[in-house]
Structure 1
């Protein structure tokens, strides 16, 4: 991109890239998307069976779903790397990027490392202070914050309207800062894919994106709003009384969240690609 990026050009331009090249998106990701959706449906059936038949009887706890995380990381690594190379190098879109396997693994590992670092930063800067503050405010609110930090579902029962609003603001703040840190610290990700494993560090990424900090902040806010709305719609659509729970409900909800995962992954990848393209070459 030759022009100075703006929040709109990063976010809406990224969506435009995906829509304009929708055929390439399918050639790159369709098999991964189908596998991810199928695994989520399978996990939903297993979980529903545990809830309806096995809870407190045979199984000591809910089914382990480690394979969903592994599949998402594999899908993220291959789809994102292929998109980076397609948009920047003009590489033919395909199921697997034209990279050595070790570089694909390095790319996936880089996502994991950045995710851990961002999570640690948020825990220290937001999580612990929020827990201390919530202990002084309301026990129910403290339980919600603790659940969010443990990646549990946000259930508003027991909270007043004011505390629900405070909890939702906290969720939005965490999501926004997570995305902002990813966009500012993560251009080493596309550089690993594009430069055949030669990625830049997170500090260098932060310095390289300093000149477009305002645009990235704006794009992060729009991304956070979109993510919260998408996941909120899926969640609220299946927030049913326990007597209405069924296997079909669980599977459909899982598929809804899986589709949302795919959409947010694609948009985030496209935005990160645009940020990478806007960084001066000497900074890479």
Structure 2
């Protein structure tokens, strides 16, 4: 099943190159999380946070996430990276990456809003509050992830200073709806399972915080790696090995 191959290839991309993954993302991610914790964003009382502090947290998270994503794409696809704990910052590429991501985000938000109004009430009605919410989330995440993944295929090209349009990525994956359904399902289940251990801890406890930070890093790196794998396979015609 190609969806499983893409998913496992992406996971191996991170954990098979764990030293490089930590070198490229570790320091940036730790600093980002230190700022998040210092501002109290993980305390659960987000509404009480000063808007200026929240804006700072969002700005830092955005810049650092773009920095990591661009550096990881370039490392995997072009072998760039060096030995520094702070990867090179490719400003123009990161800015274009941001612009394209915002456009994708608008499309995804619209799709999620329309589907959410229909799916979530249905899930709650059929299966009750807890199970219904989980089923509803899964039913919502799969189609949203399918659209997101296909639209996001050009992002690794942008990270490398190249340019392909949404239509090129869409055409390259024509006829692969089943693959993207399977991949979206795997990614949705993966995301839900990563969140389960956190519910076992008291929300304001150290174990809960540590799991949130660890699972956040894993989800970020696997997500970026899936886009890298999709671009490498469908655009550069690399085999899934």
Question: If the length of structure 1 is used for normalisation, what is the TM-score?
Answer: 0.71
> How many Å apart are 1:206 and its aligned residue?
1.9
Equivalent residue runs for 1:149-160 within 5 Å: none
Alignment of 1:1-284 (within 5 A): 6-44=2-40, 47=43, 62-63=48-49, 64=51, 65-93=54-82, 95-97=86-88, 99=90, 101-124=91-114, 126-130=115-119, 134=121, 162-194=128-160, 196=161, 198-238=162-202, 249=204, 253-281=208-236
Q: Give yes or no for contact 2:154–2:169 (8 Å, CA) kept in 1.
A: yes
CA RMSD, Structure 1 to Structure 2 (Å): 2.9
Aligned equivalents of 1:105 and 1:111: distance in 2? 10
Q: How many residue pairs were aligned? A: 232
Q: For residue 118 of structure 2, give the secondary structure of its aligned residue in structure 1.
A: helix
Deviations 1:48-95, CA, capped at 9 Å, x for gaps:
7x79xxxxxxxxx51032333323222221111111111111112553
- CA separation of 1:224 and 1:111: change in aligned 2, threshold 3 A: same
Per-residue deviation, 1:175: 2.2
Q: Which runs of 5+ in 1 are unaligned?
A: 52-60, 142-158, 240-248
What SS does the corresponding residue of 2:40 show, helix, strand or coil?
helix
C-alpha displacement of 1:110: 2.1
The answer on whether the counterparts of 1:37 and 1:255 sit within 8 Å (CA) in structure 2 is: no
Q: Which has the higher contact order (CA 8 A, sep 6+)?
A: 1
State the shift of 1:281 in Å.
Answer: 4.4
Q: Which moved more, 1:170-179 or 1:160-169?
A: 160-169
What's the TM-score once normalised by structure 2's chain length? 0.82
Question: Match of 2:80, SS?
Answer: coil
Q: Using the TM superposition, give the Cα deviation of residue 229 of structure 1 relative to its aligned residue in structure 2, in angstroms.
A: 1.1
Alignment check: 8 A CA contact 1:40 1:254 kept: no
Distance 2:5 2:157 in 1: 21
